[in-house]
Amino acid sequence: MRIVLIGPPGAGKGTQARMLQEHFGIPQIPTGDLLREAIKAGTSLGKQAQTYMDTGKLVPDQLVTAMVAERLERPDCEPGFLLDGFPRTIAQAEALSLHLDKTGQQIDCALSLAVPNLALIERLGGRWVCHNCNAMYHERFSPPQHPGQCDKCAGELYQRSDDTRETIIARLDVYERSTAPLIDFYEKNGCLRTVDGIGEPAEIFQRITDTLSAS
Ligand code: AP5
């Protein structure tokens, strides 16, 4: 199964993608995490991406598209994959279709997670992530047992540099202008499914798997 997860910042794409990866046994390809790893490793891609990410802008299409194309070539993507955070522009969606066409593949489902802006701002403002294993917490909805420390590996928790109020607002604006048009794009392709992203993560996961098995 080849799935694209679409949703504004904080919609729960990462949370749901991790659960879906386990459920379907297909790899999650989180472009935001891949770019943050490139920044940490000090690669040329990371250096180019950093300024865009810190200010809530999209990293240029050609950089992200090349990174994803390279990742999709790996053997673990043969049975399927789950793209989390890609595509984010019409140009990226078209490049993805072209890339898949070459091997006779296509996207089976573009899953759009719908969450109102107020909830997004609250989720992002309270997010904490483990430096070591990337586990995710929320200070109100899913707090760690000990503040600042990961329950799974005792790693140190941090707040992402793009989770400041100012950058959250900029990211929401970028989403509306550049990424929301993908909803129409995939609707015309006939593979769009929209799921209500409000509620407990387990409840939303159930909605997603019900939607996928009905498609
Ligand atoms: P990325 O890291 O992908 O960030 P994002 O799209 O802004 O999404 P987030 O990771 O912030 O949120 P999410 O929807 O995954 O929610 P999560 O599950 O974490 O991208 C970062 C940057 O990289 C971009 O701004 C851009 O610069 C660049 N980039 C990435 N891809 C790109 C591309 N294709 N093209 C160009 N540039 C690109 O949940 C958030 C919080 O809410 C957590 O604390 C979680 O615990 C909590 N939560 C989750 N679900 C629930 C729930 N049901 N109820 C309550 N709380 C919940």
7-52 pLDDT, tens per residue? Answer: 999 999 999 999 999 999 999 999 999 999 999 999 999 999 999 9
User: CA 160, CA 65: separation in Å to the nearest integer?
Assistant: 23
Task: Indicate if ligand 1 lies below 6 Å from the C-beta of 27.
Answer: no
d(CA 138, CA 128): 6
List pLDDT tens digits, range 82-134: 999 999 999 999 999 999 999 899 999 999 999 999 999 999 999 999 999 99
Fold for 2-214, please state it. Rossmann fold (3.40.50)
Active site residue 47: no
In this structure, the number of other CB atoms found within 10 A of the CB of residue 98 comes to: 11
CA 198/CA 188 separation, integer angstroms: 25
Q: Among this protein's residues, is 171 annotated catalytic? A: yes
- Ligand 1 pocket member 31 (CB < 6 A): yes
pLDDT in tens, 74-84: 999 999 999 99
Region of 182 please: left (phi>0), alpha (psi -120 to 50) or beta: alpha
The protein residue with its alpha carbon nearest to ligand 1, atom 20, reads: 32
Indicate the domain borders of the chain.
Answer: 2-214
CA geometry: angle 73, 110, 28, nearest 5 deg: 45
